[in-house]
A and B are shown apart, each in its own frame.
Chain A
Amino acid sequence: MQPFEYANPTTLQEALGMLGNRWGETYVLAGGTDLISLMKEYIETPKRLVNIKGIKELGGIQSTKTGLRIGSTVTVEELLDHAEVRKSFPALTEAARGISSPQIRNMGTVGGDLCQRPRCWYFRQGFGLLAMKDGKSLVPDGENRYHAILGNGGPAYFVSASSFGPALVALGAKIRLASASGHREVAASKFFVTPQNENAREIALLPNEILTEIIVPHEGTKNATYEVRQKQALDWPLAAASVALKMKGSTVSSARIVLAHVAPTPWEATEAGKALDGKAVTPESAEEAAKAALADAKPLSGNGYKVQLARVAVKRALLEAVRARG
């Protein structure tokens, strides 16, 4: 790991003043569970880290007029344990539970989860975000069992790693970003982007910004997340889905279905959501919606199975959302 300068500001303003305009030089450090690994592998070699865990205003979960406010340095474990989150936003609780190591949950933060880099093994071995070698991506002809089945027309084939992202998109959340020159708010659905070149990023955050908080509106949805994971312990979902349903009686008045770990961004299946309008969620309608959600999937050489897994995730998430909770 290359030596770096370490700053430990206590106010947001102070921290923002330390950031620069170029990726790679100064990084925000939250729990460090992703950033430090990247530095150990020399994938990131920043000159300076700005620790934001000492900034009080970035922590805490509170109910506000506009919705539930989740500070960016709230740990995954704090979110998992939060009673109101459990009650109103089980989609988030389940996503948190899926981050299946207590150590990661205790150190890792919600903001860090949203800003973490992809786990694509070519990227992690130093072949770059788009895994280019001799002008061609290594992924389509390579080992792509964990890669994208949607939004994979290139040049990005990795899957977005965040499990909170898809849940927040389903819940219609807003993400607040601050820079030295002010604040802005981005819809969770606009926060994740597919990079078109090696120097672009997977998120809308700019290098001089800090993700300060997340607002999850109180829409009274029935929501759920379902993950298909190979291992119970320390593993990533192979495919997952988060859903949020606005109900009118026992029928759906509007549905948001968002696939996770299958595309370079959380993947909203708009048509599948519409297909549920006015229907009750039954095994049959859930199955239909699941099929619709994956209609456009284009698997690579080694990940056709993920289409099936994503379908199952959608179906089971829908059924879970409407399951009566005791």
Chain B
Amino acid sequence: MPDAPNYSWPPMEKRRVLGKSTKRVDGPIKAAGRAKYSSDFTQKDLLHGALLTSPHAHARVTSIDTSGAEKLPGVTAVRVIASPGTELMWAGQEVASVAAETEEIARDATRRIKVQYEVLPHLVREDDLKKAGVRAKAAGEQVKGDPDKAFQEADAVVEGHYGIPVITHCCLESHGNVVEWKGDKLNLYPSTQNASGIGGDLSQNLKVPASNVHTNMQYIGGGFGSKFAADLWGVEAARLSKASNGRPVKLFLDRATELMMAGNRPSAYANIKVAAKKDGTITAWQSESWSTGGIGGGGSPPIPYVFDVPNQRKNHTAVSTNCGGVRAWRAPNHQQACYLTNTAFDDLAAKLNMDPLEFYDKNLGLTPRAEVYRAQMRKGAELIDWQKLWHLRGQSGSGTVKRGLGLAMSTWGGGGHNSQCRTTIHPDGTVEVELCSQDLGTGTRTVITMVAAETLGLPLGAITLRIGDSSLPPSGASGGSTTVGGVSSSTRKSTVNALAKLFDAVAPTMGSSADQLEAVDGRIQVKGDSSKSLTWKAACQKLGVNKISEMGENNQRNPGGLNSSGVGGVQLADVSVDTETGLVKIIKAVAVQDVGLVINPKTSESQIHGGCIMGICAALMEERIMDQQTGRMLNPDMEFYKIAGIGDIGEIIVHLDITPEHDKRGVVGLGEPAAIALLTAIANATANAIGVRVPEIPLTPDRVLAALERRNA
């Protein structure tokens, strides 16, 4: 029996490809506009789908007449989704669908469907808990330690109100798909984070065998946690296709429907009391929090976050609102938890006249990774010039424009999802790596190619990678920051296995044994003896007519040292605030992140940049604005649903905490941790600048000016 193959990552100093900043392999095709997203899909007999949605936040359908739509020339199918009697729970909920020859006809047709509603009472706002009435459901008190005693004995106590609103995912490519249901076969071209799993979900919804659905998606314009399932638009497009003689139906949500229907990040509001000793040691936490995630209410974020405060009293209330439902939003619940916790702590530090760096340092014993955070805070402070620029809260000089610094900390799991990969080495030397994963724009293609190139001793260009097609070996959904961990491990294993087979085949011809061979620089050679070598191509020719095809598998529960989970990060902000206009601008953002083994520093840094930009948007401008009178979302567009542009972002500095200790843990994943802390760091920096807490984000001029007015009163 040969030894079990050694899959472990090459030692840091021996890596030729891994750990080297590498441009993304799909950069040119994307920049040139040749990358075809599912929303680019077009075909001669393509039909277009559209949805009719509820204009009311709460209503019962009393009658629905589709004849006007059916009569419109160009319409091929009309389907009622909410039949009479259906209770609609939010404005934007689906009522009917249409397929037609053009998108314009499909939309016109939806307007010809006559629906009568019995309008019912609604609640669409949760910021004021007093107005929630019966829609508020308390979860029951949680107590730990002896909070009463701790508050009594404390040297300093602060109480504050804090709030973070519902925001949406606002993916550049909206949710949707093209579906073709011909005979008993379905072709699905989705925009999904789950290329392997989405077909099964669709098949279950349609009650057809999973093997009848073929999925293909090459590029996706963002998902951020909102694109895992087949969803209504998948099911409707399929049924519309079937009803239209199997012609493919393209159904992508328009922006307004997208922002109302396709998920959101729940809100979190809280009245919080925290206590500390004179020296800054945190002793007690008390919170009354509430949140909404739509009609289902909203769970409590994990507060206090990262810090395990010894004495706690917590009450959470879920508010059920007539709004679209939640979906995972890049690090679900963590932004809320981070905001509620780190703002309250920052206020406590300010009350104690302590530098937050010192305050946090004092309390790191309450976290699970004190030394990691300590080193990260030190690095972050250095990068943002904390020693020079930090000042006590509000002591920022006499000018109109104030400057301030702030920080916040995060944690995340990550890891590696289940993934299978197949590597094929052909006798002509070509190499195919195949797995049904997806590249969310994060660099997954590049990372897989790098791992294969490293193992096989080949340049990136020698690897042909195929992903996004459900006929390939399955990989997990891209959620929880587990993709890189999963696909890098399965690719490592399958390429190691394939290479071992190649060594077996060529060793005899080289007068050596398989365990004496290595693959470097496009050659197979006897270890340490480049005089005994074959070019990759010559070696492969020895395969005769037999190609090598080997699998590799990552098992999420048994990653074999290739990947692991658990990371921390510190993010810091340097902001300026115009106290006459209340405008907050980002001067600099710093992100320090530990991420285990870093395969590609460049795309890792890009990921963190992206996370920071989302943090800036959430801190300064993003919010879903609901109108209690009409029950509608008033900003379901990209005009008043505000997202930062380049000029709004400032400088972002990313520091990947690459150390031998972190590296030993294998690949971890960083999509989500990167998006957690910055929004809170910005809020804290703003308080530091203007001398008063702006309780609720986003930090729009009205909120900042109101806080300043309170300070001056």
Interface mask (A226-241 → B, CB under 8 Å = 1, otherwise 0): 0010111111101000
Check: B428 CB closer than 8 A to any chain A CB.
no
List of B residues within 8 angstroms of A143 by Cβ: 625, 627, 634
Give the contacts of A266-312 with B (CB-CB under 8 A).
302-305, 308-309, 312
B702 close to A145 (CB less than 8 A):
yes
Q: Which residues of A sit under 8 angstroms from B632, Cβ to Cβ? A: 125
Q: Does A138 contact B (CB under 8 A)?
A: yes
A305 partner, pick from B634, B642, B648, B701, beta carbons under 8 A: B701
Query: Which of A138, A146, A228 contacts B583, CB < 8 Å?
Result: A228
The answer on a CB contact under 8 Å between A121 and B635 is yes
B3 interface contact, C-beta 8 A: no
Which residues of A lie under 8 Å from residue B642 when comparing CB positions? 230-231, 235
Most central of B581, B638, B705 by chain A CB within 10 Å: B581
Task: Say yes or no for A83: interface residue by CB 8 A criterion.
Answer: no
* Nearest Cβ on chain A to B651's Cβ, whole angstroms: 14
Tell me whether A309 and B635 are in contact (CB under 8 A).
no
Task: Verify if B511 is at the interface (C-beta below 8 Å from A).
Answer: no
B634-A121 in contact (CB<8A): yes
A305 CA / B583 CA spacing, docked (Å) = 12
Known: A231-B644, A302-B702. A142 touches B580 (CB 8 A): no
Given A235-B642, A305-B582, check contact A138 B648 (CB 8 Å).
no
Tell whether B645 is near chain A: CB-to-CB under 8 Å.
yes
Q: Give the CA-CA distance A145 to B702 in the complex, in Å.
A: 8
Across-interface contacts of A141 in B (CB, < 8 A): 629
Contact B634 A312 (CB under 8 A): no
Contact of B107 among A1, A121, A304, A308 (CB under 8 A): A1
A94 CB to closest chain B CB (Å) equals 16
Q: Shortest CB–CB separation between residue B633 and chain A, in angstroms? A: 9
A199 at the interface (CB under 8 A from B): no
Residue B706 lies at the interface, judged by CB distance under 8 Å to chain A: yes
Residues of B within 8 A of A246 (CB): none
Name the A residues within 8 Å of B646 (CB-CB).
232-233
Residues of B within 8 A of A312 (CB): 580-581
Do B647 and A232 touch (CB < 8 A)? yes
B40 within 8 Å of A by Cβ?
no
Provide the bound-state CA to CA distance between A235 and B635, in Å. Answer: 13
Q: Is B527 an interface residue (CB 8 A)?
A: no
Interface residues on B, range: 20 to 34
A101-141 residues at the B interface, CB under 8 angstroms: 119, 121-122, 124-125, 127, 133, 138, 141
Is A138's CB under 8 angstroms from B645's CB?
Answer: no
If A235-B642, A305-B582 touch, whether A230 touches B701 (CB-CB below 8 Å) is yes
**Which chain A residues border B107 with CB–CB below 8 Å?**
1
Tell me how far the C-beta of B410 lies from the nearest C-beta in chain A, rounded to whole angstroms.
Answer: 26
In whole angstroms, what is the CA distance A309 to B708 when docked? 14
Residue A42 CB within 8 A of the other chain? yes
B706 touches A305 (CB 8 A): yes
A233 adjacent to B648 (CB under 8 Å)? yes
CB of B253 to closest CB in A, whole Å: 14
Partner of A234, one of B104, B111, B582, B645: B645
Docked complex Cα distance between A258 and B647 (Å): 27
Interface mask (B573-611 → A, CB under 8 Å = 1, otherwise 0): 000000011110000000000000000000000000000
B637 CB → nearest A CB, Å: 8
Q: Which residues in window 1-25 of A have CB below 8 A to B?
A: 1-3
- By the criterion CB–CB under 8 Å, are A121 and B706 in contact? no
Point out the residue from A3, A228, A231 that lies within 8 Å of B621, measured CB to CB.
A231
Once bound together, how far apart are the Cα atoms of A312 and B400, in whole Å?
Answer: 12
B621 near A230 with CB under 8 A, answer yes
Q: Is the interface of A mostly helix, strand, loop or mixed?
A: loop
Q: Mark A40-60, 1 if CB is under 8 A from B, else 0.
A: 001000000000000000000
Nearest residue, chain A, Cβ from B105: A3
**Cβ-defined contact, B640 with A230, below 8 A:** no
> Which chain A residue shows the least CB distance to B104?
A1
What chain B residues lie within 8 Å of A125 (beta carbons)?
Answer: 630, 632, 634
Counting chain B CB atoms within 10 Å of each CB, the highest count among A119, A127, A308 belongs to A308
Which residues in A have their C-beta under 8 angstroms from that of B706? 305
CA distance A258 to B646 in the complex (A): 30
Flag if A305 contacts B702 (CB, 8 Å).
yes
Q: Which residues of B contact A304 (CB under 8 A)?
A: 702
Chain B residue numbers with a CB within 8 Å of A124 are 637
B634 lies within 8 A of A133 (CB): no
* CB neighbours of B630 from chain A (8 A): 122, 125, 127, 133, 138, 142
B19 to chain A, nearest CB (A): 35
Residues of B within 8 A of A309 (CB): 581-582, 701
Choice from A100, A228, A232 contacting B701 with Cβ under 8 Å: A228
Inter-chain contacts of B635 with A (CB < 8 A): 121
Which residues of B are found within 8 Å of A228, using beta-carbon distances?
581, 583, 701
Q: Is the CB of A42 within 8 A of B581?
A: no
Q: In the complex where A228-B581, A312-B581 touch, is A119 in contact with B702 (Cβ < 8 A)?
A: no
- Of B108, B632, B634, B646, most A-chain CB atoms within 10 Å: B634
A305 to B638, CA, bound (A): 23
Complex alpha-carbon distance, A304 and B702, angstroms: 8
The distance in angstroms between the C-alpha atoms of A16 and B83, with both chains bound, is 49
Which residue in A42, A236, A302 is a CB contact (below 8 Å) of B111? A42
B700 at the interface (CB under 8 A from A): yes
Bound CA–CA A303/B644 (angstroms):
22
Pick from A133, A231, A238: contact of B629, CB below 8 A. A133
Cα of A145 to Cα of B111 in the assembled complex, Å: 31
Q: How far is the CB of B291 from chain A (nearest CB, A)?
A: 21
Q: Is B13 an interface residue (CB 8 A)?
A: no
Task: Check A238–B701 contact: CB distance below 8 A.
Answer: yes
- A232-B647, A302-B702 are contacts. A119–B583 as well, Cβ < 8 Å? no
**In the assembled complex, how far is the CB of residue B55 from the closest CB belonging to chain A, in whole angstroms?**
8
Decide yes or no whether B529 CB sits under 8 A from chain A: no
- The closest CB in chain A to the CB of B637 belongs to A124
B639 interface residue (CB < 8 Å to A): yes
**CB closest chain-B residue, reference A311:** B580
Complex CA distance for A73 and B265, rounded to whole angstroms: 43
Most chain B CB inside 10 Å of its own CB: which residue of A2, A100, A230, A234: A230
- CA A192 – CA B604 in complex, angstroms? 53
Q: How far is the CB of B619 from the nearest CB of chain A, in Å?
A: 12
Most chain B CB within 10 A, of A138, A143, A145, is at A143
Task: Give the chain B neighbours of A133 by CB distance below 8 A.
Answer: 629-630
Is A308 in contact with B108, judged by CB distance below 8 angstroms? Answer: no
Residues from chain B with a CB closer than 8 A to the CB of A233 are 644-648
Q: In the complex, what distance in Å separates the CA atom of A42 from the CA atom of B108?
A: 9
Closest chain A residue, CB of each to CB of B702? A305
Q: Which residue of B lies closest to A302 (CB)?
A: B702
**A140-173: which residues lie under 8 A (CB-CB) from chain B?**
141-143, 145-146
What 0/1 readout, one digit per residue, does chain A (163-207) give for beta carbons within 8 Å of chain B? Answer: 000000000000000000000000000000000000000000000
Alpha-carbon distance A119/B640, docked complex (angstroms): 10
Q: Which residues of A contact B627 (CB under 8 A)?
A: 138, 142-143
For the complex formed, measure the closest distance between the CB of B646 and the CB atoms of chain A, giving whole angstroms.
7
Task: Give CA–CA (A309, B642) in the complex, Å.
Answer: 19
Query: Cβ of A145: which chain B residues have Cβ within 8 Å of it?
Result: 702
A313's nearest neighbour on chain B, judged by CB, is B581
User: B647 — which chain A residues lie within 8 A by C-beta?
Assistant: 231-233
Q: List 7 A-B contacts (CB under 8 A).
A: A1-B104, A125-B632, A143-B634, A230-B620, A230-B701, A231-B644, A308-B581
Known: A3-B108, A236-B639; 12 extra A-B contacts, CB below 8 A, are: A1-B107, A122-B634, A125-B632, A125-B634, A133-B630, A142-B630, A145-B702, A234-B645, A304-B702, A305-B702, A305-B706, A308-B705
Question: What residues of chain B have their CB less than 8 Å away from a CB belonging to chain A?
Answer: 104, 107-108, 111, 580-583, 620-621, 625, 627-630, 632, 634-635, 637-640, 642, 644-648, 700-702, 705-706
Binding site for B on A (CB under 8 A): 1-3, 42, 100, 119, 121-122, 124-125, 127, 133, 138, 141-143, 145-146, 228, 230-236, 238, 302-305, 308-309, 312
Enumerate the 7 nearest inter-chain pairs by beta-carbon distance, A residue then B residue, closest first.
A233-B645, A232-B647, A305-B702, A121-B634, A312-B580, A305-B705, A1-B104
